[in-house]
Homo-oligomer: A and B are copies of this chain.
Amino acid sequence: MTYCVGILVDSGLVMIADTRTNAGVDHVSTYRKLQSIVIPGERCVLFSTSGNLSISQAAVTLAKHGLENPETKKIDTLETVPTLFEAAHLIGRAIRKVHDRHGADLEESGVAFEVSFLIGGQIKGGDMHLYMVYAAGNCIECGSEAPFLQIGEHKYGKPILDRSIQMNTDLSDVTKIGLISMDATLRSNLGVGMPIDLAVLRKDTFQLSVEHRIEDNDVYFKDLRKRWSTALRFQSLLMKRK
């Protein structure tokens, strides 16, 4: 399993992903599901993947190598698309290209064509955006009512996001809440595993202000999960009784 979350607030974007991948019963390993394409001062595109690894890897490769835009007839890559919207559509086309190549064979082998992407960031001339791209190549954009999108094992980590994230939440608090959401998932689903990749992009900077891999022994993360559990326990005790 996988858990990736992207949170887009007024001041920027936080993306967090686990790294556990299990390709077969006895083969559990680590793979970077959160990746970035940065051209300093011009664009910073972050994306994370969930689902069948062979599909998402192939789609990423195709999107990096470039695919023809059916309207402009130009070759688009994630380094050249003019907008985040087009970047999301490029990922969508890449997914469908993989489907064209392998979809029928996968189906014949009883393997579901399951894949989804989060893609977000900012390209000069445009605002920040965050999209979720589905296996059919279509996508939705993150809105301000619930300023986050999740892929993979999303349920355990959703309540904290529902309750704590608002458009004006400070980016360092967003980071903390995102990590708590990840921690809730790690605790409950063994298929989501450490280490965790974290990236933070402040608005209009076009470069990552944080790009960090949190390992098992990370002092900050251990401290955060401990303090949060303690805080929750006390909070529930301290709430005025009726």
Residues of A within 8 A of B (CB): 155-160, 162-164, 166, 170, 172-173, 176-177, 180, 184, 187-188, 220, 223-224, 227-229, 231-233, 235-237, 239-242
Contacts and interface: CB of A to CB of B under 8 A. Distances in A.
Copies of this chain held together in the complex: 2
A170 to B, nearest CB: 8
B155 A232 contact: no
Contact of A231 (B166, B229, B239): B239
Nearest to A229: B163
A172 B237 CA distance: 9
24 contacts: A155-B155, A157-B159, A158-B184, A158-B188, A159-B159, A159-B184, A159-B187, A159-B188, A160-B232, A163-B228, A163-B233, A164-B229, A164-B236, A170-B237, A173-B237, A180-B236, A220-B242, A224-B239, A227-B240, A228-B239, A231-B235, A231-B239, A232-B235, A235-B235
A231 to B, nearest CB: 5
